[in-house]
Amino acid sequence: MASESPEPVGDSPNQFSWQNLVTSSSSKDIQTLEKAVDAAFFHGRAFAEGFRDSVKDARSIQNPDSSESQVPSVPELETSINQMSSESHYTLSMQISTDGPTAIYPKEHQEFRVLVGVAGATGAGKTSLLNSLLEKKDMLPSSDEKAATATVCEIAWNHDMSTEYRAVVTYRSYANIKEELDRFFKDLKYQHTRPAADESNDEDGDADPGPDETNIDNEIEKLCKVWGPHTEMNLLKMTADKILKMSHPANACITKGTEVITSNNSDSGEFAKEIAPYLDSKVFKTTQSGKVYEYELWPLIERVELYLRAPILRNGVVLVDLPGLGDAVEGRAQVAESYRSRLDSTSWPLWKRKN
């Protein structure tokens, strides 16, 4: 089906309707501008390719006596076309899908990102808002009863036309986790070996307070969620090396660095179920060497990148789902707080509590 060309408006033949919208903030006008950009990409590429074919024909019939002052030489034209084709704004193509033409953007366009975070207290409805914006009711796990979002999740446009949905799970590095565990075991053992404040004979009251007990408790909770229940006395006999050398499926996740999950099923439900254990705080179950392991992955995950083709993501907006501020698990709340400095914009959902 032939595409419709925009018609000139006004007195100037070079003035098109979209040029009157460049300063508008209307969502409808912005969509019109986006369509104009798509058309420019697509037709610019077609023009360059057609011009290239014409030059090939010209080369075969070029008259060596032609005046270079009047007609550019074929090599000069080829140089110009190659330069035109190499420019990012002429490299877009179109792919026809069931939803109509889909733009395949150049690398520079694909790398353009505006990080928009959705932040707020635990249970405020952040994830439900994101699902609504994505027009996917259950893409991201949400819960009114307890915290569902346990890891940072970046949701961006899927430029990979070979997949409908794609998730990239990035695990924290082995060195980063080992450093954290080393610090935890050092603090834990110091807490159990240092003299009590009233036995320090420090008359000025400047006794070493030692490590923060709350931080130690938080680290114990995180460790047990991954590597199973351990008493504090049992942990005193362990080290970071022993933990990371355990025959445990969680340790395999750390060593592989990233994990990619894809789906070509038009129904997002199955994909949502598959990625849920990487996003929420529920128990992940797996079998290794005939033994069933139950553990949580969120303490080991740096972030999850989710790629899909939702209209709101089409032009570089990256929605970021963050763990709730004030999460009962301190580690998750700290993740949300530290990530906020990377955001270009933050949305705070407002809701009306039902009586």
Q: Which pLDDT tens digit goes with each residue over 293-316?
A: 999 998 899 999 999 999 889 888
How confident is the model at residue 9, as a pLDDT? Answer: 44
pLDDT per residue as tens digits for the range 148-203: 677 889 999 998 888 999 999 999 999 999 999 999 999 999 988 876 654 555 55
> In one letter, which amino acid is 337?
E
3-class secondary structure, 19: helix
Report the pLDDT value the prediction gives residue 2, as an integer from 0 to 100. 45
Mean pLDDT of the chain: 74
Q: Ramachandran region of residue 143, left (φ > 0), alpha (ψ -120 to 50) or beta?
A: beta
Q: Which of 20-34, 44-58, 248-262, 270-284 has the largest mean confidence?
A: 248-262
Residue with tokens 């140089």: 79
Q: Exposure pattern of 162-174 as b/e (b: 16+ CB <10 Å)?
A: ebbbbbebbbbee
The answer to whether residues 197 and 205 touch, using CB atoms and an 8 Å cutoff, is no
Tokens 């914009």, located at residue: 345
Residue 94 pLDDT: 45
Contact (Cβ atoms closer than 8 angstroms) between residue 312 and residue 129 = no
Residue 71 is predicted with a pLDDT of 46
| Listed range (48-62, 90-104, 133-147, 214-228) with the worst mean pLDDT | 90-104
* Region of residue 168 (left: phi > 0; alpha: psi -120 to 50; beta: else): beta
Cα–Cα distance, 129 to 142 (Å, whole number):
10
Residue count (the chain): 355
**Own/partner long-range contacts of 338-345 (Cβ < 8 Å, ≥24 apart):** 339/117, 339/152, 340/117, 340/119, 342/115, 343/115, 343/116, 343/117, 344/114, 344/115, 344/116, 345/114, 345/115, 345/116, 345/117
What Rg value do the Cα atoms of the chain yield, rounded?
29
Continuous segment of H or E residues that includes residue 254? helix 249-256
At 115, the pLDDT band (50, 70, 90 cuts) reads: confident
| Whether residue 348 has pLDDT greater than 90 | no
Q: State which of 239-243, 266-270, 287-291 shows the largest mean pLDDT.
A: 239-243
Q: Kindly list the domain boundaries of the chain, sorted by start residue.
A: 17-104, 113-173+257-347, 175-243
One-letter amino acid at 309 equals: R
* 48-52, 195-199, 226-230: range with lowest mean pLDDT: 195-199
Contact by Cβ (8 Å): 161, 104? yes
- In this model, does residue 349 exceed pLDDT 90? no
Residue 85 identity (one-letter amino acid): S
Quick check: 263 pLDDT over 90? Answer: yes
Structure token digits, residue 5: 């060309």
Does residue 63 surpass a pLDDT of 80?
no
Instruction: Round to whole Å and give the CA distance between 149 and 268.
Output: 18
| Closest C-alpha to 296, from 217, 229, 234, 241 | 229
Question: How far apart, in whole angstroms, are the C-alpha atoms of residue 71 and residue 94?
Answer: 33
Q: Is 267 helix (H, G, I), strand (E, B) or coil?
A: coil
Predicted local distance difference test score (pLDDT) of residue 168 = 96
Which stretches within 62-139 are classed as H helix? 74-86, 107-111, 126-134
Q: What pLDDT, on the 0 to 100 scale, is given for residue 24? A: 61
pLDDT at position 93 over 50: no
Q: Does 288 have pLDDT greater than 70?
A: yes
Distance CA 328, CA 149 (A): 12
Tokens of 209: 């307070």
Task: Output the pLDDT for position 138.
Answer: 83
Residues near 69 by beta carbon (within 8 Å), at least 6 away in sequence: none
Please compute the mean of the pLDDT values over residues 314-340 and round it to a whole number: 72
- Position 343 scores a pLDDT of 77
pLDDT of residue 342: 80
